[in-house]
Amino acid sequence: MGRSLVRSAGFIALPLLGLFALSSGLVGASPGQGAQPAAVPVPTGAELTATFAGGCFWSMEKAFDGVPGVASTAVGFAGGTRANPTYKEVVNGGTGHAEAVQVIYDPARISYQRLLDIYWRSIDPLTLNAAFCDHGTQYRSVIFYESPEQRRLAEASKRALDESKRFDTPIVTPIQPAAKFYPAEDYHQQYYKKNPASYAAYVIGCRREARTRELWGDKQVSGVGSRESGVRR
Protein backbone atom coordinates (compact mmCIF):
# COMPACT_ATOMS: atom_id res chain seq x y z
CA MET A 1 0.00 0.00 0.00
CA GLY A 2 1.11 3.64 0.13
CA ARG A 3 4.53 4.19 1.67
CA SER A 4 3.38 6.62 4.37
CA LEU A 5 5.72 7.75 7.10
CA VAL A 6 3.23 6.44 9.64
CA ARG A 7 3.46 2.95 8.21
CA SER A 8 7.25 3.11 8.03
CA ALA A 9 7.42 4.06 11.69
CA GLY A 10 5.12 1.18 12.55
CA PHE A 11 7.46 -1.32 10.94
CA ILE A 12 10.25 -0.41 13.39
CA ALA A 13 8.48 -2.45 16.04
CA LEU A 14 7.78 -5.50 13.89
CA PRO A 15 8.69 -8.93 15.22
CA LEU A 16 11.18 -11.10 13.36
CA LEU A 17 8.76 -11.95 10.57
CA GLY A 18 8.20 -8.33 9.70
CA LEU A 19 11.87 -7.44 10.01
CA PHE A 20 12.79 -10.30 7.71
CA ALA A 21 10.25 -9.18 5.14
CA LEU A 22 11.49 -5.63 5.28
CA SER A 23 15.17 -6.52 5.04
CA SER A 24 14.39 -8.77 2.10
CA GLY A 25 12.66 -5.92 0.29
CA LEU A 26 9.36 -7.74 0.27
CA VAL A 27 7.14 -5.02 1.68
CA GLY A 28 6.03 -2.70 -1.05
CA ALA A 29 7.83 -4.64 -3.76
CA SER A 30 6.25 -4.10 -7.16
CA PRO A 31 7.06 -5.01 -10.74
CA GLY A 32 8.39 -2.59 -13.28
CA GLN A 33 6.43 0.10 -15.02
CA GLY A 34 3.77 -0.86 -17.53
CA ALA A 35 1.98 -3.56 -15.52
CA GLN A 36 -1.49 -4.08 -16.96
CA PRO A 37 -4.77 -3.98 -15.01
CA ALA A 38 -6.20 -7.36 -14.15
CA ALA A 39 -9.33 -8.67 -15.85
CA VAL A 40 -12.43 -8.16 -13.72
CA PRO A 41 -14.67 -11.19 -13.12
CA VAL A 42 -18.20 -10.82 -14.48
CA PRO A 43 -21.32 -12.00 -12.60
CA THR A 44 -23.08 -14.95 -14.18
CA GLY A 45 -26.65 -16.11 -13.83
CA ALA A 46 -28.20 -14.80 -10.63
CA GLU A 47 -24.92 -13.52 -9.16
CA LEU A 48 -24.72 -9.93 -7.94
CA THR A 49 -21.94 -7.41 -7.35
CA ALA A 50 -21.05 -5.52 -4.18
CA THR A 51 -18.31 -2.88 -3.92
CA PHE A 52 -16.65 -1.72 -0.71
CA ALA A 53 -13.76 0.57 0.19
CA GLY A 54 -12.09 0.20 3.56
CA GLY A 55 -8.44 1.12 3.28
CA CYS A 56 -5.79 -1.33 2.10
CA PHE A 57 -7.45 -3.39 -0.61
CA TRP A 58 -5.18 -6.36 0.08
CA SER A 59 -6.91 -6.68 3.45
CA MET A 60 -10.37 -5.99 2.10
CA GLU A 61 -10.01 -8.77 -0.46
CA LYS A 62 -8.80 -11.18 2.23
CA ALA A 63 -11.87 -10.39 4.36
CA PHE A 64 -14.28 -11.60 1.65
CA ASP A 65 -12.18 -14.15 -0.21
CA GLY A 66 -13.29 -17.71 0.41
CA VAL A 67 -16.47 -16.79 2.29
CA PRO A 68 -19.22 -19.29 1.34
CA GLY A 69 -21.43 -17.70 -1.29
CA VAL A 70 -18.72 -15.34 -2.56
CA ALA A 71 -17.90 -16.38 -6.10
CA SER A 72 -14.92 -14.06 -6.69
CA THR A 73 -13.18 -10.91 -5.52
CA ALA A 74 -11.09 -8.29 -7.30
CA VAL A 75 -9.22 -5.25 -5.99
CA GLY A 76 -9.14 -1.90 -7.70
CA PHE A 77 -10.23 1.70 -7.49
CA ALA A 78 -13.62 3.44 -7.33
CA GLY A 79 -15.11 6.86 -6.70
CA GLY A 80 -12.60 8.97 -8.59
CA THR A 81 -12.50 11.20 -11.63
CA ARG A 82 -9.62 9.88 -13.73
CA ALA A 83 -10.27 7.03 -16.16
CA ASN A 84 -8.10 3.92 -15.96
CA PRO A 85 -5.92 5.06 -13.04
CA THR A 86 -2.80 3.18 -12.09
CA TYR A 87 -1.97 2.12 -8.55
CA LYS A 88 0.84 4.68 -8.40
CA GLU A 89 -1.48 7.49 -9.46
CA VAL A 90 -4.10 6.56 -6.88
CA VAL A 91 -1.78 6.18 -3.90
CA ASN A 92 -0.06 9.45 -4.75
CA GLY A 93 -3.44 11.18 -4.46
CA GLY A 94 -5.20 13.48 -6.88
CA THR A 95 -7.39 11.01 -8.79
CA GLY A 96 -10.16 10.99 -6.20
CA HIS A 97 -10.34 7.19 -6.14
CA ALA A 98 -10.49 4.96 -3.09
CA GLU A 99 -8.87 1.55 -2.94
CA ALA A 100 -11.78 -0.88 -3.16
CA VAL A 101 -12.79 -4.50 -3.45
CA GLN A 102 -15.46 -5.76 -5.81
CA VAL A 103 -17.27 -8.86 -4.61
CA ILE A 104 -19.34 -11.13 -6.83
CA TYR A 105 -21.73 -13.19 -4.74
CA ASP A 106 -24.62 -15.61 -4.99
CA PRO A 107 -27.58 -14.09 -3.09
CA ALA A 108 -29.07 -17.56 -2.67
CA ARG A 109 -26.04 -18.52 -0.55
CA ILE A 110 -25.04 -15.27 1.16
CA SER A 111 -27.08 -12.14 1.75
CA TYR A 112 -25.95 -8.57 1.20
CA GLN A 113 -26.65 -8.03 4.89
CA ARG A 114 -24.03 -10.67 5.69
CA LEU A 115 -21.55 -8.96 3.38
CA LEU A 116 -22.20 -5.73 5.24
CA ASP A 117 -21.50 -7.46 8.55
CA ILE A 118 -18.17 -8.74 7.24
CA TYR A 119 -17.35 -5.30 5.86
CA TRP A 120 -18.02 -3.36 9.06
CA ARG A 121 -15.99 -5.78 11.15
CA SER A 122 -13.03 -5.50 8.79
CA ILE A 123 -12.66 -1.71 8.93
CA ASP A 124 -12.34 1.25 11.28
CA PRO A 125 -15.56 3.18 10.51
CA LEU A 126 -14.75 6.04 12.88
CA THR A 127 -11.83 7.70 11.11
CA LEU A 128 -12.34 10.00 8.13
CA ASN A 129 -10.05 9.71 5.09
CA ALA A 130 -7.74 7.18 6.68
CA ALA A 131 -7.50 3.51 7.51
CA PHE A 132 -5.22 2.35 10.29
CA CYS A 133 -1.71 3.60 9.37
CA ASP A 134 -2.68 4.70 5.86
CA HIS A 135 -3.80 8.31 5.51
CA GLY A 136 -5.42 10.12 2.61
CA THR A 137 -8.73 10.06 0.76
CA GLN A 138 -7.54 7.06 -1.25
CA TYR A 139 -7.87 5.03 1.98
CA ARG A 140 -11.33 6.29 2.94
CA SER A 141 -14.13 3.88 3.75
CA VAL A 142 -17.15 3.86 1.44
CA ILE A 143 -20.06 1.53 0.72
CA PHE A 144 -20.88 1.78 -2.99
CA TYR A 145 -24.44 0.54 -3.49
CA GLU A 146 -25.39 -1.16 -6.76
CA SER A 147 -29.18 -1.09 -6.34
CA PRO A 148 -31.92 0.59 -4.29
CA GLU A 149 -32.10 -2.55 -2.12
CA GLN A 150 -28.38 -2.42 -1.38
CA ARG A 151 -28.74 1.24 -0.48
CA ARG A 152 -31.64 0.51 1.87
CA LEU A 153 -29.77 -2.29 3.61
CA ALA A 154 -26.55 -0.31 3.89
CA GLU A 155 -28.27 2.74 5.34
CA ALA A 156 -30.21 0.59 7.81
CA SER A 157 -27.05 -1.21 8.85
CA LYS A 158 -25.15 2.02 9.43
CA ARG A 159 -28.09 3.53 11.32
CA ALA A 160 -28.37 0.46 13.54
CA LEU A 161 -24.69 0.68 14.44
CA ASP A 162 -24.99 4.34 15.35
CA GLU A 163 -28.16 3.77 17.37
CA SER A 164 -26.57 0.87 19.23
CA LYS A 165 -24.19 3.36 20.90
CA ARG A 166 -21.43 0.82 20.50
CA PHE A 167 -19.06 3.66 19.69
CA ASP A 168 -18.72 7.04 21.36
CA THR A 169 -18.42 8.80 18.01
CA PRO A 170 -20.60 8.43 14.89
CA ILE A 171 -19.85 6.24 11.88
CA VAL A 172 -18.17 8.36 9.19
CA THR A 173 -18.40 5.82 6.34
CA PRO A 174 -20.51 7.30 3.51
CA ILE A 175 -22.97 5.31 1.41
CA GLN A 176 -22.76 6.32 -2.24
CA PRO A 177 -24.01 5.19 -5.66
CA ALA A 178 -21.73 2.66 -7.31
CA ALA A 179 -18.95 4.30 -9.28
CA LYS A 180 -17.05 2.76 -12.16
CA PHE A 181 -14.67 0.17 -10.80
CA TYR A 182 -11.17 0.06 -12.29
CA PRO A 183 -9.20 -3.11 -11.52
CA ALA A 184 -5.72 -2.75 -10.07
CA GLU A 185 -2.70 -4.37 -11.65
CA ASP A 186 -2.54 -8.13 -11.52
CA TYR A 187 0.19 -8.25 -8.87
CA HIS A 188 -2.25 -6.69 -6.38
CA GLN A 189 -4.91 -9.36 -6.92
CA GLN A 190 -4.80 -12.02 -4.18
CA TYR A 191 -1.74 -10.24 -2.80
CA TYR A 192 -2.07 -11.81 0.64
CA LYS A 193 -1.72 -15.26 -0.96
CA LYS A 194 1.03 -14.39 -3.42
CA ASN A 195 3.18 -12.53 -0.87
CA PRO A 196 2.32 -13.90 2.59
CA ALA A 197 5.43 -12.61 4.37
CA SER A 198 5.08 -9.14 2.92
CA TYR A 199 1.39 -9.05 3.74
CA ALA A 200 1.95 -10.27 7.30
CA ALA A 201 4.53 -7.52 7.83
CA TYR A 202 2.07 -4.91 6.61
CA VAL A 203 -0.73 -6.16 8.89
CA ILE A 204 1.52 -6.18 11.95
CA GLY A 205 3.17 -2.86 11.19
CA CYS A 206 -0.12 -1.15 10.43
CA ARG A 207 -1.86 -2.70 13.47
CA ARG A 208 -4.90 -3.41 11.34
CA GLU A 209 -6.00 -6.60 13.11
CA ALA A 210 -5.16 -5.16 16.53
CA ARG A 211 -7.36 -2.14 15.87
CA THR A 212 -10.27 -4.17 14.49
CA ARG A 213 -10.15 -6.41 17.58
CA GLU A 214 -10.20 -3.28 19.71
CA LEU A 215 -13.28 -2.03 17.88
CA TRP A 216 -15.22 -5.23 17.29
CA GLY A 217 -13.90 -7.82 19.73
CA ASP A 218 -12.25 -11.20 19.26
CA LYS A 219 -13.19 -12.35 15.76
CA GLN A 220 -12.07 -14.03 12.59
CA VAL A 221 -10.80 -11.65 9.91
CA SER A 222 -13.71 -12.72 7.70
CA GLY A 223 -16.16 -11.69 10.40
CA VAL A 224 -17.36 -15.26 10.88
CA GLY A 225 -17.97 -16.37 14.44
CA SER A 226 -17.26 -13.01 16.06
CA ARG A 227 -17.58 -12.53 19.79
CA GLU A 228 -18.50 -9.06 21.04
CA SER A 229 -16.03 -7.48 23.43
CA GLY A 230 -18.11 -4.53 24.50
CA VAL A 231 -15.17 -2.19 23.82
CA ARG A 232 -16.33 1.27 22.79
CA ARG A 233 -14.20 3.87 21.05
Q: Which of 27, 50, 56, 60 is catalytic?
A: 56
Using only the alpha carbons of the chain, give its radius of gyration: 17
Strand-strand pairing, 70-78 and 130-131: unpaired
Please say whether the beta carbons of 74 and 102 come within 8 A. yes
Tell me the three state secondary structure of residue 32.
coil
User: Could you tell me the CA-to-CA distances from 158 to 36, 74, 120, 161 in Å, in that order?
Assistant: 36, 24, 9, 5
Core vs surface per residue 144-153: b (16+ CB within 10 A) or e: bbeeeebbeb
Please say whether the beta carbons of 81 and 95 come within 8 A. yes
What are φ and ψ of residue 141, in 5° steps?
-95, 135
Active site residue 56: yes
Tell me, what DSSP letter sits at residue 35?
A: P
How far apart (Å, rounded) are the C-alpha atoms in residues 121 and 212? 7
Q: Which amino acids are annotated catalytic? A: 56
